Amino acid sequence: MKKHNFNAGPSILPRIAIENSAKAILDLNGSGMSLLEISHRSKDFQAIIDEAVALFRELLNIPENYHVLFLGGGASLQFCMVPYNLMKTKAAYLETGVWAKKAIKEGKFFGQVDVVASSADKNFTYIPKNFTIPADADYFHITTNNTIYGSEIRYDIDSPVPLVADMSSDILSRPVDVSKYAMIYGGAQKNLGPAGVTFVILREDVLGKTGRPIPTMLDYTTHIKEGSMFNTPPCFAIYTVLETLRWIKELGGVKKMEEMNKAKAQLLYDAIDNSKMFVGTVEKDSRSLMNICFVMKEQYKDKEDAFMEFAKGKGMVGIKGHRSVGGFRCSTYNALPVESIQAMIDCMHEFEAANA
C-alpha cells in the first residue's frame, strides 16, 4: 500500500534527497568513505557546506551583509540564543501559538518582554492584526507558521525595530524579502532536511549591543567566525539539506514551491469547506499553506476515531491533530506531492458517503 506522509515534523523529504543521502552514507562522491565517517575539516565536507550556504543564499536571495549558519540545538535553543545575543533591555513578541509562547518564556530570562498581541483568546485560530510594535524594543519576534494550530503569516511585516522570525515550518515555501528581517531561523525538519540541524540567517550589525558576556557556544559571533564549524556540526543533516536545496532549484526555485503549495492547499481547503462532515479550525484569512487543521462537525464528533482508523487503512500517515487541538492535521510541506492531497480528499469523500 502506498503511504501518504502528512507528518508535521520530522516530515516528508524529496525522494531524491533521501536516495542521494543514503548513497553518500555508503560512499561519498566515490571517495570510498562514508559521509558519516569523514572529517568535518576535510575538503569533501567543506565543499558540502559551502554549496549548501551558496544555494540557500541563491534561492532566498539573501543579501551579502547576512550570514548563513548551520547549528545544532533546534529552534528551541534559538529561543534563548536570540535574546541572549540581541536583547539589551526589552523585546516585543507576537503570541500566535505554542512555539511563540515558548520563545516568549525564554525571552523573559533576559529582560522585559512585551507581548504586542495574542490570539490565545480563540485558541490561536487567527493571526492578530492592527498591533503596535514598540519603537524602543531591541527586536520584534514572530513565528511565521504555526504547525499545531494551522495559522500562518504569509507576508513580510514592516517593523520599526529589527525583525526576528522563526520560520521552522515554512522556510522555502514562498519567497521572502530577507532584507526586512534582522534574523530568520528554524529547525530544518520540515521543508529543509532531517532533524538535527538548525539554520540561522543573520545580519551581523544587530550583534554586540547587549553589553553582557555570552558563553562561547551561545554567541553567534563564535559560529560566524568559524563558518558554522567551531565544533563538529551535524554533517549528515547538512548534506541532506544540500540535496533538498538542489531539488528545489531543479524544480524552479521558491516561486515554484509557492505555486505548488498554494494549489495543494486550495484543493484540500475546498474539500473541507464543501464537506458535510469536516470543518476547518482556522479563520480563512489566517490559514496556513503548510499545516491544514480540521475537525469533525459537532454532530459527527463521535466518528473521529473511526475516520482516523479508516484513513490509516488507506495509507494516510501522521494526520492526527496535536493533542492540544484534536481532530486532524495534514502537513503539506514542499515535498508532499499533489497525489497525496487527492488521496486524502478521496479518503474523506469515501468516509463521508458511508457515514454522513
- DSSP codes, 51-67: HHHHHHHHHHT--TTEE
pLDDT of residue 92: 98
Q: What average pLDDT is seen over the chain?
A: 97
When pLDDT is cut at 50, 70 and 90, the band that residue 325 belongs to is confident
Q: Is the Cβ–Cβ distance between 210 and 86 less than 8 Å?
A: yes
Q: What type of residue sits at position 161?
A: V
The pTM of the whole model exceeds 0.85? yes
Helices (H), the chain: 15-26, 43-60, 74-86, 98-107, 220-225, 235-251, 254-273, 304-313, 338-355
In angstroms, the CA 279 to CA 86 distance is 41
When pLDDT is cut at 50, 70 and 90, the band that residue 1 belongs to is confident
DSSP string, 156-208: ----SS-EEEE-TTTTTSS---GGG-SEEEEESTTTT--TT-EEEEEEGGGSS
When pLDDT is cut at 50, 70 and 90, the band that residue 324 belongs to is confident
In angstroms, the CA 115 to CA 342 distance is 40
Q: Is 190 a catalytic residue?
A: yes
List the catalytic residue out of 138, 170, 190, 219: 190
Domains of the chain in sequence order? 15-251 (3.40.640.10), 253-355 (3.90.1150.10)
- Percent of the chain topping pLDDT 70: 100
Q: Is 256 a catalytic residue?
A: no
C-alpha neighbours within 13 Å on the C-beta side of residue 15: 4
Distances from the Cα of 172 to the Cα of 68, 91, 190, 221, angstroms: 14, 26, 10, 25
Angle formed by the axes of helices 254-273 and 338-355, to 10°?
A: 0
pLDDT of residue 265: 98
List the catalytic residue out of 2, 23, 50, 99: 99
List the catalytic residue out of 90, 101, 121, 166: 166
